[in-house]
């Protein structure tokens, strides 16, 4: 577990230092993995339909409902590694 936690923390730092900002869909994917990994299942009520950003974030996180925190950490680490590899291909 400690090794996964260290990988997750390193991926967080790496995500903040990406040269190219990911598209919105990828940002939502990162967000949902991060929230599931750090807080577990989504809590609270779904934002209203006109709060587009908050609603998209909530829905993305809710899609991870039931995913273990370890699996979410692994997904986050894998996605950041993929984004880094895309930058290295440039």
* pLDDT tens, position by position, 33-80: 999 999 999 999 999 989 999 999 999 999 999 999 999 999 999 999
Helix H or strand E segment including 89: helix 69-89
Q: How many domains does the chain have?
A: 1
Give the residue among 61, 88, 83 at the shortest CA–CA distance from 11: 83
Give the residue among 26, 17, 41 at the shortest CA–CA distance from 76: 26
pLDDT at position 68: 97
Q: By residue range, what is the domain housing residue 20?
A: 2-89
DSSP 41: S
Band of the pLDDT at 2, cuts 50, 70, 90?
Answer: confident
pLDDT at position 33: 98
Q: Half-sphere exposure of 74 toward its Cβ, with a 13 Å CA cutoff?
A: 6
Question: CATH number, domain at 38?
Answer: 1.20.80.10
């Amino acid at each position: 577990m400690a090794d996964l936690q260290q990988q997750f923390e390193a991926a967080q730092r790496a995500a903040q230092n990406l040269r190219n900002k990911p598209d919105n869909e990828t940002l939502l994917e990162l967000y949902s993995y991060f929230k599931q990994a750090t807080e577990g299942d989504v809590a609270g009520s779904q934002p209203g339909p006109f709060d587009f950003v908050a609603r998209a974030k909530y829905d993305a996180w809710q899609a991870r409902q039931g995913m273990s925190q370890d699996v979410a950490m692994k997904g986050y680490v894998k996605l950041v590694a993929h984004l880094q590899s895309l930058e290295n291909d440039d």
